[in-house]
Homo-oligomer: A and B are copies of this chain.
Amino acid sequence: MFRLVVVWCILLCTQIVIAFGSKTRHFKWEVEYMFGAPDCMEHVVMGINGQFPGPTIRAKAGDTIAIQLTNKLHTEGVVIHWHGIRQLGTPWADGTASISQCAINPGETFLYRFKVDKAGTYFYHGHFGMQRSAGLYGSLIVDVGDGEKEPFHYDGEFNLLLSDWWHQSVHDQEVGLSSKPFRWIGEPQTLLINGRGQYNCSMAAHFSNSSIKQCKFRGNEQCAPQILRVLPNKTYRLRIASTTALASLNLAIGNHKMVVVEADGNYVQPFDVDDMDIYSGESYSVLFTTNQDSSKNYWISVGVRGREPKTPQALSILNYHPTSASKLPLSPPPITPKWNDYNHSKSFSNKIFALMGSPKPPETYQRRIILLNTQNTINGFTKWAINNISLTLPATPYIGSIKFSLKTAFDQKSPPENFSEDYDVMKPPVNPNSTTGNGVYMLGFNTTVDVILQNANALSANVSEIHPWHLHGHDFWMLGYGEGKFSKMDKKKLNLKNPPLRNTAVIFPYGWTALRFVADNPGVWPFHCHIEPHLHMGMGVVFAEGIQHVRNIPNEALACGLTGKTLMKNEGN
């Protein structure tokens, strides 16, 4: 009995310590357009408080983040999504226009208040139109809570937020994507590391045969490279997140191996790599040890994977103390694996397992939803569709329309759970036509859901693209990948033993990807391809669960669409 009391007392004290250690971190942010030169060419970028990328948020697990976001744009609404944060109890703070809230109008302020419950590498970004592509993003790093320890050791850390950059304005890109004939945005001009890239020069030009100039930096240019200053014989944590609009990336550090330890804010069983793939929406932590010749510097290179690259590698410099940062590495930058070497990509993905002791998935699913990914046409417009429905978001946020049963706000029919048995995923669609829709998969509260993402051939023959799918409001267990059409037999291939928890899962060309999650987070949660133009073209679905438990949606989140029409204010008329 005495021992029980002692244990109880210790438990209580721990809770109290955690409660006292955690705090609310307040921020006042203003979103506006400004001039910048992310890749040495002047362009309008979307910034926060005059910064591009936006300010890095640093917090501890258990903290509450309170951001008063003021929209200083002239005619555009804005929202910010906190990518990887599950928004437990605050689904209205997920920052998805038409889903968790109305876009914040110009001149208005919205309070994002949410808890960061789990240490990890996260980021935030715009989730309205293609504002992420315009530069609305930044890093969100959550450290372990006081008294907690990471399951690995490191002496210092760096943070790299990766993105891609176009010289055509996002507004013009949007018009092209929504036009008949369709105009594709093309490959990015530049890859950015922490908002910095080089367009009209390369730091490694002297190694190449191309006519591109060697970069010369004074060091204070906005496009000057990120320098990672390290001491010899130390271990560093490199946090990497990709908020690219399109590009799948591969990162390598010249002469240094990396040990992957975290993926999407979840610890993984450490494994060594020479280079690593990062898809849009993913984040990783890797450890590397500065065990190389300290009289030299080393490249960190980021190149394009999964699409024939027309964009040069982005480069940063790993600068060993006491070597000068301006001394360029003596060997050429690491070569990015061939863009279509998918075996290399799959090999990387298949090495990722949950760290021992991580939560395990329920043994069986209660509902299985199979989602066929196809490229389609609707009235001559080019779209992406899921089970033949291309998502067009409604004017009224689902969180309001479901909560208040506004049945005309969106398609009440549940979208299909599967696709036709005889669909040939290896060939272009026989009938390329699809329809638009905005129906919702209503998930039973606490149901265990399996989703099978099924890739297929696009509109052109012999084309099947990579799509990184991101789920809001949850981590899911990444059960496995396979080739061709998913079949009953494939069930055996699923990893139920130590699948990693992720929030983003890639589908490989002509393949399938299986994941499992528990619908235990009351709210409305999009699940979508994280490629910005693909989402714009309809590549997503919407899940909703436990809406009856959603409480205290701020009025400001619902002042649009049908939820904006039923106002008290007219009483005074």
Contacts and interface: CB of A to CB of B under 8 A. Distances in A.
A76 interface: yes
Given A74-B129, A169-B169, A179-B34, A105 B102 contact: yes
A281 interface: no
Nearest to A70: B395
Contacts of A76: 75-77
A30 interface: no
Contacts of A552: 573
Interface in A118-142: 128-131
A174 interface: yes
Given A559-B560, A564-B564, A34 B169 contact: no
Contacts of A32: 178
Interface in A551-573: 551-553, 555-556, 558-561, 563-570, 572-573
A44 B172 contact: yes
Interface string A193-209: 00000000000000000
A130 B556 contact: no
A128 B76 CA distance: 10
Given A105-B395, A169-B171, A551-B573, A35 B77 contact: no
B566 A404 contact: no
Contact of A33 (B34, B175, B559, B573): B175
A569 B395 contact: no
A119 B334 CA distance: 74
A106 interface: yes
A107 B131 CA distance: 17
Contacts of A570: 553, 555
Given A75-B76, A75-B103, A103-B75, A566 B573 contact: no
Nearest to A405: B572
A308 B103 CA distance: 42
B573 A567 contact: no
Contacts of A558: 567, 569
Interface in A411-430: none
A172 B74 CA distance: 11
Contact of A561 (B107, B178, B553): B107
Interface in A265-281: none
B403 A572 contact: yes
Interface string A63-101: 000000000001111100000000000000000001000
A75 B131 contact: yes
Given A35-B175, A76-B75, A566 B560 contact: no
A395 B108 contact: yes
A555 to B, nearest CB: 5
Contacts of A107: 98, 393-395, 561
B565 A555 contact: yes
A566 B129 CA distance: 27
B568 A564 contact: no
A565 B560 CA distance: 11
A400 interface: yes
Contacts of A564: 555-556, 559-560, 564, 567
Contacts of A567: 555, 558-559, 563-564, 566-568
A572 B78 CA distance: 27
Interface string A526-554: 00000000001000000000000001110
Contacts of A395: 105-108
Nearest to A550: B573
A176 to B, nearest CB: 8
A564 B76 CA distance: 17
Contacts of A106: 77, 103, 129, 395
Given A555-B565, A565-B555, A570-B553, A44 B108 contact: no
Those 10 A-B pairs whose CB atoms lie nearest each other, nearest first: A559-B564, A107-B395, A75-B129, A74-B129, A75-B76, A568-B568, A33-B175, A555-B567, A108-B395, A555-B565
21 contacts: A35-B176, A75-B76, A75-B128, A102-B105, A103-B105, A105-B105, A105-B395, A107-B393, A171-B171, A400-B569, A403-B573, A555-B564, A555-B566, A559-B559, A559-B560, A559-B567, A563-B567, A566-B567, A566-B569, A567-B567, A567-B568
Given A169-B172, A555-B565, A563-B567, 6 more contacts: A33-B171, A35-B176, A74-B129, A108-B561, A169-B169, A559-B567
